[in-house]
């Protein structure tokens, strides 16, 4: 059986390597396929252009592109157009995979005033870029009865060290008011994609992918400073949470038998600080 990763960057590559290690044939599509490591068959493909042939035995497709910048045009092309184009190519080649997973974002949810958010909560962010990600989800779920959407919160992990760099560089600021943040380690995001596509016979259409502990940003910064042996960052005014205050609840994902290797930011950041893993280019 073949697995196709459309948009094979850091997350897609981690998924592909895990599946290749299980003996699957994995094909990775991106515009710069020379960056795709051994174990995955890299192919040059621009998801906004006519796509290469898809092998008949393709069992799973994972769509994991990212927009090149934060403009609406970039989001429309990387999410809405790319998803439609992959579905067109599957139809063109008469390939019906068992599962098509779209990597989405919890940005599709708006502001919940710090309340808990699940798959059932309205995904009605007013932000134009978030609405385009939502539109891409709907393209998949409307056109395929084998579609699954995984809404990831903020990905951190090897090489994704924004908060660590802020603490080390002395630019971190503890928000004067509590600021909920939600995150998932890159490896847990990859493991969740493998789980949902390979282990479940009948997954739900939508899952939230976020670790078990939404946390105040200040607490994470204090933890990192302590782990690094640095003084606590100063408190002050910060810009509010981008896109809205909410606490993501991933209990539906856990109810399917998935368990997090990094259930909270503590285990995850300790692994990052210990230099575990690499970011795929």
Ligand X SMILES: NC(=O)c1ccc[n+]([C@@H]2O[C@H](COP(=O)([O-])OP(=O)(O)OC[C@H]3O[C@@H](n4cnc5c(N)ncnc54)[C@H](OP(=O)(O)O)[C@@H]3O)[C@@H](O)[C@H]2O)c1
Report the interface residues with ligand X, using CB under 6 A: 7-12, 29-32, 45-48, 64-66, 78, 82, 103, 105, 152, 154-155
Of the pair 11, 139, the CB lying nearest ligand X is at 11
Q: How far is the CB of 47 from ligand X (least distance, A)?
A: 4
According to DSSP, the residues that pair with 63 across neighbouring strands are 6, 102
- To the nearest whole angstrom, how small is the minimum distance from the Cβ of residue 157 to ligand X? 9
CB of 68 to ligand X, least distance (A): 6
- Is the Cβ of residue 144 or residue 153 nearer to ligand X in the bound state? 153
**Nearest-approach distance from CB 44 to ligand X, in angstroms:** 9
Rank residues 147 and 235 by Cβ distance to ligand X and give the closer one.
147
Question: What's the closest the beta carbon of residue 4 comes to ligand X, in angstroms?
Answer: 12
Would you say 5 or 95 has its CB closer to ligand X? 5
Is the Cβ of residue 3 or residue 103 nearer to ligand X in the bound state?
103
Q: Which residue is nearest to ligand X (CB)?
A: 9
Q: How far is the CB of 259 from ligand X (least distance, A)?
A: 20
Q: Which residue, 12 or 110, has its beta carbon nearer to ligand X?
A: 12
């Amino acid at each position: 059986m073949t697995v196709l990763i459309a948009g094979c960057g850091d997350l897609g590559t981690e998924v592909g390597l895990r599946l290749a290690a299980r003996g699957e044939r994995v094909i990775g599509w991106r515009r710069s396929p020379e960056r795709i490591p051994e174990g995955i068959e890299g192919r040059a493909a621009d998801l906004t252009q006519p796509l290469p042939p898809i092998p008949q035995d393709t069992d799973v497709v994972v769509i994991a592109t990212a927009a090149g910048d934060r403009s609406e045009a970039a989001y429309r092309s990387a999410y809405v157009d790319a998803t439609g184009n992959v579905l067109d190519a599957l139809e063109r080649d008469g390939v019906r995979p068992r599962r098509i997973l779209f990597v989405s974002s919890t940005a599709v949810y708006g502001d919940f005033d710090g309340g808990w958010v699940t798959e059932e909560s309205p995904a009605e962010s007013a932000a134009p870029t978030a609405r385009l990600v939502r539109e891409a989800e709907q393209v998949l779920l409307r056109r395929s009865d084998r579609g699954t959407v995984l809404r990831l919160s903020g990905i951190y992990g090897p090489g994704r060290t924004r908060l660590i760099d802020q603490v080390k560089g002395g630019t971190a600021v503890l928000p004067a008011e509590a600021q909920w943040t939600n995150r998932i380690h890159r490896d847990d995001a990859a493991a969740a994609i493998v789980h949902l596509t390979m282990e479940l016979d009948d997954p739900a259409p939508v899952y939230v992918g976020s670790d078990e502990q939404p946390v105040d940003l200040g607490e994470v910064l204090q933890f990192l400073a302590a782990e690094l042996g640095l003084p606590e960052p100063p408190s002050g005014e910060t810009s509010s949470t981008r896109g809205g205050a909410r606490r993501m609840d991933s209990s539906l994902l856990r109810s399917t038998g998935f368990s997090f290797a990094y259930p909270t930011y503590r285990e995850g950041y300790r692994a990052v600080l210990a230099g575990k893993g690499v970011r795929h280019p």
